[in-house]
Structure 1
């Protein structure tokens, strides 16, 4: 695997771990998340990083085995370009459902 791709995969893992760290002392409850602007912005920023890293990976190797890789990039674009229409529910769904799947797939690709 190309070193750049590995670096971007590690960036994705790092961002996932950072998102998870926001919920160590705070329960993963949607209403708490929704009312915590600082956490919402931090989560969105890390999802932007994940999406940008995925975009770079796909440009380098479009055959990489990551589910919903194109959707990940699309979410990043939505956060950046359509910031005023970002849904808390969509971001929360990503945090609760999709990040764990993405983390497993990235760890498999990195052989962890």
Structure 2
């Protein structure tokens, strides 16, 4: 059975929230030095990228305000050849891009929920 696309959007939201939780008030230097946290954050970014790829094209077109292609390529941007992670890029992504994405994802989820409730 194919997974409903709304669940992939929910995955994106949860990953962003978990990244916020993992980081707390860490600095970039603390983040780079904490292998557990940095690995967990990179994994969540990978999940965001994969989840984005599973959102149907018509939904991505409907909500054009989100940088869907950038989100789908997040993993490729932060992990270079031979799995070398660029933590500066990761940090910039989580501090600049994710705060822009999260409220938009929240709005999409609310709209989808309202549509579902209207159909009932």
Correspondence for 2:21: 21
Query: 1:84 is matched with which residue?
Result: 83
1:108 deviation in Å? Answer: 0.6
**Alpha-carbon shift at residue 77 of structure 1 (Å):** 3.5
Q: In the TM superposition, what is the alpha-carbon distance from 1:84 to its structure 2 partner?
A: 2.8
Query: Normalising by the residue count of structure 1, what TM-score does the alignment of the two structures yield?
Result: 0.82
Structure 2 Cα separation of the partners of residues 58 and 90 of structure 1: 27
**How high is the TM-score relative to the length of structure 2?**
0.77
1:49 aligns with 2:47: yes
Structure 1, 97-106 or 61-70: larger mean CA deviation = 61-70
Unpaired segments ≥5 residues, structure 2: 112-120
Number of aligned residues: 108
Bigger radius of gyration: 2
Q: Cα distance, 1:23 vs. partner?
A: 2.5
Q: Deviations over 1:47-90 (max 9, x none)?
A: 00111000111456441424221111112235567453431011
Instruction: Mark the runs of 5 or more structure 1 residues left unpaired by the alignment.
Output: none
